[in-house]
Structure 1
Amino acid sequence: MSVDTATVARIASLARIKVTDEEIAAMVPELNGILAWVEQLGEVNVEGIAPMTAVIPNKQRLRDDVIGADPLTGGDVRDKVLSNAPAGEHGFFGVPKVIE
């Protein structure tokens, strides 16, 4: 795949980027070089290689999901939270209907 000046002008128009004719002419070989490099990546044999998300192994550091003794984070405070609601219905916040 290759791009020409009309394609670069169209892309600039879609991206709402103002470019001059000289800038468009300079971008054509740059974009063609990038596209050639991307096509070259498609030739690499990746058979049997597992996909990865990062170059280094990352592990998420998660905390234990434990209900503490703190009254704010200790759980079972639904009634206390709903006491501040303008309308509570069946243990949930009542909200006005927004769809007719």
Structure 2
Amino acid sequence: MSLDLSDVKRLARLAQLDLNDTQASKTLDKLNGIFALVEQMRAVDTSGVEPLNHPIAAYQDNVALRLREDAVTEPNRRDEYQQVAPATQDGLYLVPKVIE
């Protein structure tokens, strides 16, 4: 996959970035370089390679991650926070619909 200059200008407009032609062409080169790297990584045969839960596990089998207990430490203050919101419904914030 590769982009052309019109794609970069469209992305810049969607991101509300003001890019001149020089900046857009530099961005195009960088983005195409990233896509080329991704394609190169996709070409590597990874069949038979087990995923790792931690990168160091590739070198040391006895790694035990120190994970904290998943426990609630803060009180539920949703009602207090939503009192200042312009609009809420069923515990959710309501926002205007934005479609370009």
Give the TM-score taking structure 1 as reference length.
0.54
Q: Which residues of 2 match residues 4-43 of structure 1 at below 5 A? A: 4-43=4-43
More RCO (CA 8 Å, sep 6+): 2
Identity %: 36
Pick the structure with greater CA Rg: 1
Q: Per-residue deviation at 1:59?
A: 3.4
- Richer in helix (by share): 2
- Residue identity opposite 1:59 in structure 2: A
Q: Distance in 2 between matches of 1:60 and 1:22?
A: 47
Pick from 50, 61, 73 the counterpart of residue 66 of structure 2: 61
In structure 2, stretches of 5+ residues that fail to align are 58-62, 70-88, 91-100
Cα RMSD between the aligned structures?
2.4
Counting matched residue pairs gives: 66
